[in-house]
Structure 1
Amino acid sequence: MRVNRRYVVRTYGCQMNEHDSERIAGLLETDGLEEAESFDDADVIVLNTCCIRENADNKLYGQLGNLKKLKEERPDLQIAVAGCLAQKDRDVIRERAPHVDVVFGTHNVGRATDLLDQARVSGPITEIIEESEAFPSALPVKRDANHAAWVTIQIGCDNSCAFCIVPAVRGKEISRPYSELVSEVEQLALTGVTEITLLGQNVNSYGRDLTLKLRGAELTPESSQLVGDKWVEGPHTARPLFSDLLCSVAAVSGIRRVRYTSPHPKDFRPETI
């Protein structure tokens, strides 16, 4: 008889979702679960969703329809819906698929296991957080490749493109402190990672919110940890720090390749090139 519970995380969408799925899997394994090979073997199924295209909605609700029979056969099976579509549809998900146990959005990934535990005791739950002023703390990660890792440098987007729903489901831009990112890359390199991919909704605007806060303010010894030495020692303008960050992480011993996703043309500066 199997002792440990098992899980499956199915990912739809972008690299940010893939990294969130790594963190959800890391949380589940920290909680004692083991990865299952298929839905049929799983005690917990997490669908991490995307909502950029209408087809993504169809995929989710089609998959939930397929899982309904499995839930009827195994009432103890837990089904969770996470990600951007969960952030957008909220209670609609359980209205259309009452057999879903947990719905959580893009701002409370770290609550995944707590919500699953709560649902086992008190029944289905939907928890959507609108936005957080603080960047999500570091979470355990289960990576598929030992040599490569995602590093999230910012979340959210301050652009207002008419065709894009991202700001509505990911919130405003929030950048991680500069020194925290460099330290994370250094720790990854010590574990054998040689390739990193910097993630964000608009990576090359990274740090503009940080420098905007410090512009005109009295600097302290902690300022360089927030924005890096180059900005502290140079002109104190409200500018992105992406090119500075690229140089710093590329200089970390052991890192051979630095990649990034989702740059926006309006923030592409000559120093980045």
Structure 2
Amino acid sequence: MNVHDSERMAGLLSAAGYVPVDSVPEAVARATPAGDGGADVVVINTCSVREAAATRLFGNLGQLAEVKRSRPGMQIAVGGCLAQQMREHIVERAPWVDVVFGTHNIDVLPVLLERSRHNAAAAVEIEEALKVFPSTLPTKRESAYAAWVSISVGCNNTCTFCIVPSLRGKERDRRPGDILAEVEAVVADGAIEVTLLGQNVNSYGVGFGQRGAFADLLRACGRIEGLERVRFTSPHPAAFTDDVIDAMAQTDNVMESLHMPLQSGSDAILRAMRRSYRRDKFLGILSRVREQMPDAAITTDIIVGFPGETEEDFQRTLDVVEEARFTSAFTFLYSPRPGTPAADREDQVSPEVKQERYMRLIELQERISAENNRALLGRTLDVLIAEGEGRKDGETNRVSGRARDNRLVHVGLPDDLAAEQRPRPGDMVSVRVTHTAPHHLVADSAFDGDYHLRRTRAGDAWAARQGETGSAGGGVSLGMPSVRTQ
């Protein structure tokens, strides 16, 4: 969601006459190790889910202070959840920041930059409620072949560890017709994959009184010509219904991948977290998903060391992980967030105990992930080639992408492969898995002739974007700077 918000910010800046710094060579030449990229305007989009985000923000701002002193006219803007939470305190701690804006008023970013420039003073503007639905704002999409599409904003849950509802507000749903129109528009622009976004996608439709609206939306996406892959995030176990499982299994372009946050395997901790489901319900959902989609890849979120968590509670989490056989897990040490009920509890778990439990959980999940991936050895997969997924692709002469179930696949290509047989980001390849690891698959079958390329209009869109930008970029990454031509 933060990445998609950054795309909206970049779209607003582009509409206001700003251009990405990497398209201005003379600006790039003055880039510093502070990460400014040589830009005149740096926008940092923040998160507040974990304490480390604030530490990182002010560390980055400290590095940018020296750059700003040596670059007259440079502006620094801070937006997102941490800005919504800290407000003017950001400027109090970092007086060289020019603009602070929150989650409810992304649309005012260009105006605030101009106001700060005109007044030679910081412009801080935070709204308590959403002013403009983000999906109506201009967007500079990061990818030519895949797109995020918001179906709702905000959250009605009251999890005791989570600060998001107080910063994002109550859930607001978009009308199905508006969502499908946006999906059709991004497909017309070349995208073949869409991810539907919501804090709790399963609650979609409550706002306009339509039960089963999310399952209906998935089926409607299945009827959009040219849309090959549909994903969604994130569901909530308490609201996950069988009609969604049916829609996933019966709609060809809805991928058999599911992110289902567990948080804890202990019913006592789930109750303390105010998570309105229990262990048995969670495992029952996974069982029903696998009944209809045996090859579904299921990932999860787990918090270690929630206040009051005993060794017995933690063991129950390990038991659920063993039984659930997650493809992978996003694991977090509990981080107290000011303003949440859990932060005020006196039974906080010590850092040493949290760390020890965390390492045991990681060890268990690494083993399960490795076993799950090893079972795919020799399997032929359809892989949508991506841009920037493989950090070492240049060294290994590979390209990388995602299988239908969202597993990361590194694809080996022979040196003598003809140019027309080399895939572009957005193209599809069918390859056989030759090696496995806990977090990725390797498919070097092209060296044995087992390789099929399907060039797509998404690949054409990517190639066209390279012609427009003159670089391999064209999108915006979280926290990356932009420059305004004067």
Q: Equivalent of 2:222, from 227, 244, 250? A: 250
| CA distance in structure 2 between the partners assigned to 1:243 and 1:79 by the alignment | 42
Partner SS, residue 272 of structure 1: helix
SS state at 1:80 partner: strand
Give the structure 2 partner of residue 74 of structure 1: 71
Partner amino acid, structure 2, of 1:76 = G
> Map of 1:197-208 to 2, 5 A cutoff?
197-208=195-206
Q: Is the 8 A contact 1:205 1:240 kept in 2?
A: no
2:176 alignment counterpart: 178
**Cα deviation 1:123-149 (Å, max 9, x = unaligned):** 211100011376345111112221110
Aligned to 1:23: 8
Greater shift, 106-115 or 95-104, is seen at 106-115
What's the CA shift string for 1:18-67, capped at 9, x where partnerless?
00101111111111211114514100000000000000110001101111
**1:218 matched residue in structure 2:** none
Deviation of 1:247 (Å): 0.8
Q: Percent identity?
A: 51
Segments ≥4 residues shifted beyond 4 Å:
none
8 Å CA contact 2:8–2:134 kept in 1: the answer is no
Q: Give the gaps of 5 or more residues in structure 2.
A: 23-30, 246-486
Question: Cα distance 1:269–1:40, how it changes in 2: closer, same or farther (>3 A)?
Answer: closer
Change (3 A) 1:256 1:66: same
- The CA deviation string for residues 44-99 of structure 1, in whole angstroms up to 9 with x for no partner, is 00000000000011000110111111111123100000000000000110000000
| Alignment deviations for residues 152-172 of structure 1 (CA, whole Å, 9 cap, x no partner) | 110000000001001011000
The residue type paired with residue 247 of structure 1 is R
Structure 2 counterparts to residues 1-273 of structure 1, below 5 A:
16-37=1-22, 38=31, 39-122=36-119, 123-132=121-130, 135-136=133-134, 138-211=136-209, 239-273=211-245
Partners of 1:46 and 1:132 lie apart in 2 by: 20
Larger Rg, first or second structure (1 or 2)? 2
Letter in 2 for 1:140: P
Q: Give the partner amino acid of 2:149.
A: V
Task: Give the total of aligned pairs.
Answer: 232
Is the contact made by 1:135 and 1:175 (CA closer than 8 Å) also made in structure 2? no
SS in 2 for 1:253: coil
Q: Is the 8 A contact 1:208 1:240 kept in 2?
A: no
Cα shift at 1:271: 0.4
CA contact (8 A) 1:157 1:173 kept: yes
Cα offset for 1:113?
0.7
If the length of structure 1 is used for normalisation, what is the TM-score? Answer: 0.82
Report the CA distance shift for 1:68/1:25 in structure 2 as closer, same or farther (over 3 A): same
CA RMSD of aligned residues (A): 1.4
